[in-house]
Amino acid sequence: MGIMWSRIGHSEVGWRSLAPGSVVVQREQMEEVELWFFGVFDSRIGDGVTKHMQSHLFDRKIKESQITRKSKDAMRKAYLGARAKVRETEKAEEAWKVGSASVMVINGERLVIANMGDFRAVVCRDGVAHQISRRHQQTGKRHWSHKLIPGAIRIPKVRILACDSGNAAAGTKPSKSSELLVGTERIDSDTEFIILASTGVWEVMKNQEAVNLIGHLEDPQEAAECLAKEALTRMSRSNISCLIIRFD
């Protein structure tokens, strides 16, 4: 089942960032499998993660039955490798501030989600915010009901928007750790949208607050701008990067 894009946009608000993050959107076709890779990264590791994904997943011939497992493994190794390089070149306290969040959409049917540090991936299902946890990382499954109608295409199109801004005020709230969590979930009829966002969003609002704020906005551009501006209004002191992926 393919994914068609009805809108891709980019918007910037706020001040120039002292340490900007990077937003990645990449599509790959592997025989009958369509992959979309989305990420919001700390600028120190974004390039390393995307290069690893390209060489260890996208450039290889992988059986369709193995795509989910291989995607999960590649994403985990990409994050760990990029984080290790940062630790080699920076002070320990700075290396622990590394963060990123990404999601792989496989054939519009399954998600592979990863987040590290204070960056976060939040899935909205039927108005409720869900975040990957250690439990989901271990089981690799979630147990929401699957309400697809036989023979029907659930997700004819997906809309995204990236919004990147930064607050140049001195002092960034330090991460408690750069723990990595990776897990998988199914896309079902309750799946509405995904928020990938940096520390600047999550240090000033909770998951459900973010979902409630933009849930009524059908336009992902408007939703991303709303989320970023609200973080600025709440005096976020960290770089703000967010990516909205809406399933129609």
- 20-54: per-residue pLDDT in tens? 467 888 999 988 899 999 999 988 888 899 999 99
Mean pLDDT of 66-76: 95
The position carrying tokens 């493994």 is 73
CATH at 150: 3.60.40.10
pLDDT of 18 > 70? The answer is no
Quote the tokens at residue 213. Answer: 């704020």
Residue carrying structure tokens 């271990």: 138
The pTM of the whole model exceeds 0.85: no
Q: Could you report the per-residue pLDDT of 91-115, keeping only the tens digit for each?
A: 766 666 788 999 999 998 999 999 9
Q: 5-14, 142-151, 154-163, 234-243: which range is least confident on average?
A: 142-151
- Domain total in the chain: 1
CA count, 13 A, side-chain hemisphere, 144: 19
Report which of residues 136 and 231 the model is more confident about.
Answer: 231
Total Cβ atoms within 10 A of residue 25: 15
Q: What residue spans of 183-244 are helical by DSSP H?
A: 199-202, 207-214, 220-233
The strand pairing partners of 247, in sequence order, are 158
Residue-wise pLDDT tens digits, 151-179: 222 333 444 455 655 443 333 444 456 78
pLDDT above 90 coverage of the chain, percent: 47
**Under DSSP, is residue 157 helix (H, G, I), strand (E, B) or coil?**
strand
pLDDT number for residue 177: 62
Q: In what order do the strands lie in the sheet with 240-247?
A: 4-11, 157-165, 240-247, 191-197, 120-125, 128-131
Which pair of tokens denotes residue 94?
Answer: 């700075």
Instruction: State mean pLDDT over 73-79.
Output: 95
Residue type, 55: S
What is the domain extent for residue 130? 4-247
Q: Are 171 and 103 in contact (CB under 8 A)?
A: no
Residue 3 confidence (pLDDT)? 41
pLDDT of residue 93: 65
**Residue 137: per-residue pLDDT:** 47
The model's confidence at residue 227, banded by pLDDT at 50, 70 and 90, is very high
Question: Positive or negative, the Cα torsion across 152, 105, 140, 142?
Answer: negative
User: For residue 243, how far is the Cα from the chain centroid?
Assistant: 7
- pLDDT score of 87: 84
Give the separation between CA 107 and CA 187, rounded to whole angstroms.
10
Pick from 110, 105, 113: nearest CA to 182: 113
Q: Compute the half-sphere exposure of residue 240: CA atoms within 13 Å on the CB side of its CA.
A: 32
